[in-house]
Amino acid sequence: MRDFSHDTSALALNTATLGHNLDGFGAGWPVERVIDACAAHGFGGIVFWRREIGQRAAEIGTRVRAAGLEVSGLCRTPYLVGTERPDRWLDETLSSIDMAAELGASVLTVVTGGTEPGTKGTLETQKILADRLAKVVGYAAERRVRLALEPLNPMFGGNRTCIMTVRDALNVCEMVDHDDLGIAVDVYHVWWDSDLHQSCASAGSRIVGFHLCDWLENTTDMLLDRGMMGDGVADLRAIRNAVESNGYSGPCEVEIFSRKKWWRTDPDIVLSTIVERFRQFC
């Protein structure tokens, strides 16, 4: 397992950690200021949300690389299945792939959406999901973008997701059977899974993303009360070991939705805290 006690080159900021994924939260820093601050604090990469990029993908990607960083990923595709799936899911998914390519992001996160109307359980929806992914993954590969299925905590099952474990995500990958469809492992969503190590071993090189945060013992909001690393009960090093022992050597992406605490904190303090906790606990 990699030693991060004196090395933050693998550390990446997901800008949701500064509140940039939702309107009205965070300090509202422009993209340029976030890039400069990440460089100053020793981060190696940044993961943006599509809403921040607009028509400036190539420009922003160039700015990131000029600062000595990499665009580690992009969040996210639209929902591909479920009741909240937009009618134009295909066009929007292709557009999100184009944006990732223009940014120079090698990974585009896929949050699947919930169960399809009229279905029960998850298997039928997963089959529909696999069929829709098969329609876009080749295009992503041509654009040198890998799609990363992100399993979500079961509390989002039926609403935001139809895959809730790494095993679920791997099953969908196997249905699609394409090298450029992988899996993103997020601590917040998988910390509870007693089969995680075995599932990661089965996934192997399919793991193309790793997201850091913590699970607060007394969380007050399913979506917007994630913990800073070290403040919760997730076994962070054991989870990273499950991911890295099977070949993952990519960025460690800090993604913390925290409406009441970290989004109300000065971003420079948030960034310095991330660096400190990354070295100490991850």
| pLDDT tens column, 110-129 | 999 999 999 999 999 999 99
Retrieve residue 251's tokens. Answer: 């960025």
Predicted TM-score (pTM) of the model is 0.97
Position 87 scores a pLDDT of 79
> How large a percentage of the chain has pLDDT more than 90?
97
Of 26, 21, 81, 83, which Cα lies nearest the Cα of 52? 21
Answer whether residue 197 shows pLDDT above 90: yes
Answer whether residue 205 shows pLDDT above 90: yes
Burial annotation 209-233 (CB, 10 A radius, 16+ → b, else e): bbbbbbbbeebeeeebbbbbbebbe
**Better-scored residue on pLDDT, 83 or 279:** 279
Of 83, 38, 84, 92, which Cα lies nearest the Cα of 60? 38
Position 181 scores a pLDDT of 98
Q: How confident is the model at residue 16 (pLDDT cuts 50, 70, 90)?
A: very high
pLDDT per position as a tens digit, 207-236: 999 999 999 999 999 999 999 999 999 999
Average pLDDT over residues 179-190: 98
Q: How confident is the model at residue 88 (pLDDT cuts 50, 70, 90)?
A: confident
Retrieve residue 68's tokens. Answer: 């000595």
Answer whether residue 85 shows pLDDT above 80: no
pLDDT per position as a tens digit, 157-180: 999 999 999 999 999 999 999 999
> How much is the mean pLDDT over the chain?
97
Average pLDDT over residues 145-163: 97
Q: Determine contact, residues 147/132, Cβ cutoff 8 Å.
A: no
Answer whether residue 184 shows pLDDT above 90: yes
Q: How confident is the model at residue 132 (pLDDT cuts 50, 70, 90)?
A: very high
Average pLDDT over residues 94-99: 98
What is the architecture, at CATH level 2, of domain 11-281? Answer: Alpha-Beta Barrel (3.20)
Q: Which amino acid is at 117?
A: P
Answer whether residue 42 shows pLDDT above 90: yes
Average pLDDT over residues 7-11: 97
